[in-house]
Amino acid sequence: RVMGNVGLADVDECAEGSDDCHIDALCQNTPKSYNCICKPGYKGDGKECEDVDECENDYNGGCVHECINIPGNYRCTCYDGFMLAHDGHNCLDVDECLDNNGGCQQVCVNTMGSYECKCTVGFFLSDNQHTCIHRSDDGMNCMNKDHGCAHICREAPGKGGVSCECRPGFELAKNQKDCTLTCNYGNGGCQHTCDDTDTGPVCGCHQKYALHSDSKTCIETCAVNNGGCDRTCKDTATGVRCSCPVGFTLQPDGKTCKDIDECKDNNGGCDHFCRNTVGSFECSCQKGHKLLTDERTCQ
C-alpha cells in the first residue's frame, strides 16, 4: 500500500509483529497505524484484555445447573442424574433404568434426576437399595413384612426391635419411619432449581422457562430462542407449539419449517409452466400465450 503522496509503503505492524496488542487481542492494520481489539470473551482496550466471566451474572451464563468459566468462554454442566441438552445450556433427566435396569434386582422406577429400586409383593429392599429380600412374618424385626421403615431397617434390641434410617439425600421424618426427599438427592426431583423447605423440596425454573403442572419439569417458552421454532411460536400448558406460514410444512422435529414444492402436485394448477419459489410458486406461459388474472390459465 502507498500512503498519500509520500510514496512510502504503509508498514503492516500486525504482520511484522511490531504491535503492542495484548496476547488475547486481535491486531487490525490501518493506514499509518493499527488497532487492537480484544478477542470475543475478553474485555479491555486491546492493549490490556481480561477474561469475561460469563457465569458471573443473574443469568448464570444461561446454564440451568452449573456454569464453569474458562478463558475466553464458558461451559455448562449438569448435576448427577442429568445430561446436557443439545442447546448446551438446558439439563435433561437421564433414565438410569434403561441401563441394566438401573442395577435393580426386580423393579426400577425412573425419577427426575435419579431412580429407585422397588420389590414385588413378598419382598423388601435390602440395605444396598438394589437387591430384594424375602419377607418373614415372624417377630418384630427387619425380616418382618411390617417393620415399617421406608428405606433402611436396622435391628435395634430394646427399641421395639427395629430402627429406621434413610438413604443419603433423605431425612428421617418425625414418625421415625418415613423418609423425606431433600435437594441433595437427584436435585430433589427438580429439573432446574431446588429449594429445601419444611414440607420438602420446592422446584423452580431458570429464567424464561416455565414450571410444568407436575411442579418438577421445566418447559420451553417462546421467550427463549423463539422456543426453538423456525417461524411462529405459541406458549401452551405443555410447552411451546411451533407452526409455519402458508407455503411451508412443519417437519417431524416439530420445530423446522420446510418449503412446499407446489409444482409437484398437479403442476401447481398451472396451465403451462410452474416454478417453485420460497413459500409460494409462479405460473408462466409458453411463447405466444399470456397469463390471465387467475395467474394460472394461459391464453
Say if residue 204 is in the same domain as residue 101.
Answer: yes
86 within domain boundaries: no
One domain, residues 142 and 119: yes
User: Could you give the C-alpha distances from 52 to 23, 76, 164, in angstroms and in order?
Assistant: 15, 15, 50
User: Are residues 298 and 198 part of one domain?
Assistant: no
Is 293 in the same domain as 236? Answer: no
CB atoms under 10 Å from CB of 202, counted, come to 14
Residues 237 and 296 in one domain: no
Q: Is residue 156 one of the residues assigned to a domain?
A: yes
Question: What does each C-alpha distance from 234 to 157, 203, 209, 227, 243 come to in angstroms?
Answer: 62, 24, 14, 8, 8
Mean pLDDT by 10 residues, the chain (299 residues): 52 91 95 94 95 90 93 95 91 95 96 93 85 72 74 73 85 88 92 91 89 90 83 85 91 90 92 92 93 92
- Is 15 domain-assigned? yes
Residues 142 and 177 in one domain: yes
pLDDT digits (tens, 9 = 90+) for 188-232: 999 999 999 988 899 999 987 889 889 999 988 888 778 888 899
Give a yes or no: residue 150 inside a domain: yes
76 in any annotated domain: no
Domain with 9 in it: what CATH number?
2.10.25.10
The reply to whether 80 falls in a domain is: no
Shared-domain flag, residues 192 and 237 = no
Helix, strand, or coil here: 232? strand
Q: Tell whether 201 and 298 lie within a shared domain.
A: no
Q: What is the pLDDT of residue 81?
A: 94
Tell whether 174 is covered by a domain: yes
Range of the domain at 227: 220-259
Q: Is residue 188 domain-shared with residue 200, that is, in the same domain?
A: yes
Domain count, the chain: 4
